Amino acid sequence: MSIRPLHPTHPVLACTEAIGKELDLVAEVDPAYMRTEDQAAALVELSALAARVEELKLRVLASADEVALDSGARSAAAWLAHATRTDAGRALGAARLAEAITGRWSRVGQGLAQGSVNPAQARVLVTSLDDLPADLDPDVVAKAEEYLVGQAAHFAPKQLRVLGAKVLEVVAPEVAEAAERDALERAEAHARRRTSLTFRRRGDGTTEIHARVSDAVAGRLRTYLDAYSSPRQASGDEKVPRDRLLG
């Protein structure tokens, strides 16, 4: 007759124990003696496994509020930083990612759990998705997330960031056009509010001019000045510094 323990091991802890035991078995194994094809396979599989372990850690972190309460820490992330001797900023970033993949962007979380999305990619995807217009139709948002998670199989974080900025042009071109127009109008309104021009006489025969204008106005002004200041010679063969010539 067997007696069941009062507090059976939770599946998550059982998983971590199993992983630890398997790692112990290869702790003294020298990978230098692996076949080249085995090394290649191991590198890819270990990278995917690391992503899956990270997703599990994030999932636990997202639900670990009571850990902070029991320890008197400000948050589970602060407790984790102390317990694992890591940067508080890194732990806080992990908490934000945990909240994103368990609350808003479940497909990104699923990609991490499957090992098809790595943590660096996940951070880029979450940022890109959070930057989408707040009033988008939920179906469009779902398509955007699905598309970007699919692209993670082919592109590194830097390329995913570019794709994320243009994702509406792929999944909802008509929405992208309207969003781009709205963004341009907001940028122009912001530029108008921030535009200024001031003059200050220095008392030595010169006046300081300080201007803050929109990018469009600055671009036109630079074009005009470039036309007037080329070639760079002011008189004879004298070469004038560009900033003085523009002035």
> Nearest-CA neighbor of 92 among 114, 109, 100, 134?
100
Q: Is the pTM of this model over 0.85?
A: no
Q: Which residues share a beta bridge with 209?
A: 199
Q: What is the pLDDT of residue 31?
A: 93
| Whether pLDDT at 150 is above 80 | yes
Contact partners, residue 76, CB within 8 Å, separation at least 6 = 61, 64, 65, 67, 68, 95
Q: What are 197-217's pLDDT values in tens digits?
A: 888 888 888 888 888 888 888
CA distance 166 to 158: 13
Tell me the backbone φ, ψ of residue 188, rounded to 5 degrees. -65, -40
Would you place residue 4 in the very low, low, confident or very high pLDDT band (cuts 50, 70, 90)? Answer: low
Structure tokens at 42: 């191991």
Q: What are 67-108's pLDDT values in tens digits?
A: 988 888 889 999 999 999 989 889 999 999 999 999 999 999
Angle formed by the axes of helices 215-228 and 173-194, nearest 10°: 70
Contact partners, residue 247, CB within 8 Å, separation at least 6 = none
Q: What are 14-73's pLDDT values in tens digits?
A: 999 999 999 999 999 999 999 999 999 999 999 999 999 999 999 999 999 999 888 888
Q: Which amino acid is at 202?
A: R
| Whether pLDDT at 156 is above 90 | yes
Tell me the backbone φ, ψ of residue 211, rounded to 5 degrees. -130, 145
Would you place residue 237 in the very low, low, confident or very high pLDDT band (cuts 50, 70, 90)? Answer: low
Q: What are 160-199's pLDDT values in tens digits?
A: 999 999 999 998 888 767 777 777 777 777 878 888 888 8
CA–CA distances in Å: residue 34 to residues 20, 26, 40, 45, 127: 22, 13, 10, 15, 39
Neighbours of 103 (CB within 10 A): 10
DSSP 124-161: HHHHHHHTS-TT--HHHHHHHHHHHHHHTTT--HHHHH
CA distance 229 to 242: 8
- Asked if the peptide bond before residue 133 counts as cis, ω within 30 degrees of 0, the response is no
